[in-house]
Structure 1
């Protein structure tokens, strides 16, 4: 089963739905990813509905969960034997940069069109991150026989 992405139109943002194909087999990571994706989809729903206050609150919740998740993952790097820590950390930095652009669009400018465009990039980027960098981390943890 592949992730369900619902395409965008004008100021409507791409939406994100969690699917079983996103499960990596490390329960703590899977739960964190599920929560993170739900928070990001809440941002997208608020942008699509053009509810600025709701979008700003949803973004703040996403930002908090995202930062906690990245810090959690980065603590796992030392437990994972064969893992490209710096490369993975660089993807976190890039996601933070994109999220900051989304924050600026929503919280500073109230720009739904810009926010939708950023979400149309951020959502697939996070899915790719999960299937590449996070899947690599999960495999390294499983090989090291270490639980999160």
Structure 2
């Protein structure tokens, strides 16, 4: 399992260990949305009346997991062409950098889920840059 998780872009040994320790069994999450909510990457509406805003995270999240995935996302945007392209596209659409990186973190979490449940290595579509 450790090698499978570390095959994901910018998921290192420490991040993989923390993911295994915190998530321990992904089958307890019925779907990907409940996993996103557990980690704090699911958007939610904040506001009342005339003013409503979509926010990510909030107070109900696993802070260590959230922090590690955001940090891994910044590294992935820097070194992985696929994630850099997605990040740039979101910025071009008008998203702020924090919102765009939260979406990249969500993509990384879904990659973790797929690799974990399918017991296989991650396959990159585009080559890495140095």
Relative to the length of structure 2, the TM-score reads: 0.34
Relative to the length of structure 1, the TM-score reads: 0.31
Higher helix share: 1
Higher strand share: 2
**Larger RCO, structure (CA 8 Å, separation 6 or more):** 2
